[in-house]
Amino acid sequence: MKQGIIICAYGKRGYGFGAYHLAYSIKHYCKDYPIYLYCEERTISQLFPEDLKIFDKIIIFNDRDYKRNGIPDVATMKVQVLKNSPFDETLYLDADCVCVSDIKEVMEKFTKGESYFYIDVQGKGNKGDEIVYDAWSKHDVAYPFFGLDDEDVFYSTNSSWFYFKNGLELSELYGWMLHYLNKSYPMTELKNKWIKGMLPDELLWSGVISKLKINCDGFKLMYYGNTYESIVDVRERHPFITYYGRVSSGVNLVKPIWLEFMAKHVKAIHKIDGVPFKYNLEYSYYDKALNNNQ
């Protein structure tokens, strides 16, 4: 299969509801791409059987594909997506977002792009620089940990989405990701704590991308809802909006206008399609791990 989409979801039911809303919203605008859901069985247990049909295939996780030391782990899950995808080219999406426009144009740009891997690069700079969204790394620790030279550029990433193409280069990326995942980063040296004391997957992506010098920038697929902008303008530039969670201070990063817009949006597209709306977006938002410290 040439191109496809993977969504992963584990934990509370809100993630299952979120995965459903994401898949439904994608197919509302564009039915050209198969959508596979990788999940825990309990996460989708409260979805109606007819709603599960929105996914072209549902794969229940093996423990090795999303757990580390017996505990669900985001970094492990996302690294294993690189190996487990059945598609030649794959768009991975976090479940905590919705589609707000047709994705066909951006999918065609991905497949025509020269790189084998793309991710949302938020910022980049040299060792010791103040880099946009460099939320995890202390450079004095991250540089030697990932085998970076002092003159190497460090890329900060947001891993709400990434796109990859199968091949030898991807195998190398997977190998390095697995290597550093198992190397045990000194967690006391992080700028901020991640869920359950695990390694932030964004630090892992950032370090390996910087090490391999992957040309992965250039796509802004996701809008993060943390500014006040025109809804029309946002939808023209970004096919996805996310409702990601709180920062360590407890402040919600997503502005209320965007939470309200997304809640109305998922209801509206169901109404347009003549499909009953059953799962309020609030379930997804309040079940997010970052919002309840699970």
Domain with residue 237: its CATH number is 3.90.550.10
pLDDT confidence bin for 249, thresholds 50/70/90:
low
pLDDT computed for residue 283 by the predictor: 77
CA-based end-to-end distance of the chain: 37
Give the whole-angstrom CA distance, residue 90 versus residue 57.
15
Q: Is residue 160 part of a domain?
A: yes
Q: Is residue 294 part of a domain?
A: no
Q: Is residue 293 part of a domain?
A: no
pLDDT over 50 at 293, yes or no: no
In the chain, how many domains are there?
1
Q: Is residue 240 part of a domain?
A: yes
Q: Is residue 70 part of a domain?
A: yes
Give the whole-angstrom CA distance, residue 210 versus residue 217.
12
**pLDDT average, residue stretch 273-281:** 94
| Encoded amino acid at 21, one letter | H
Q: Side-chain half-sphere of 115: how many Cα atoms within 13 Å?
A: 18
- The pTM of this model reads 0.94
Contact 78, 206 (CB under 8 A): no
Lowest-pLDDT range of 17-21, 138-142, 178-182, 224-228? 224-228
pLDDT over 80 at 246, yes or no: no
**pLDDT average, residue stretch 170-181:** 98
pLDDT confidence bin for 253, thresholds 50/70/90:
confident
Give the whole-angstrom CA distance, residue 113 versus residue 214.
13
Domain holding 253, by residue range, is 3-288
Q: Is residue 96 part of a domain?
A: yes
Q: Is residue 202 part of a domain?
A: yes
The continuous run of DSSP H or E covering 274 comes out as: none
- Rounded (10°) CA dihedral 130, 74, 238, 243: -90
Q: Which of 128-132, 173-177, 280-284 has the highest mean pLDDT?
A: 173-177
Contact 103, 239 (CB under 8 A): yes
Contact 200, 131 (CB under 8 A): no
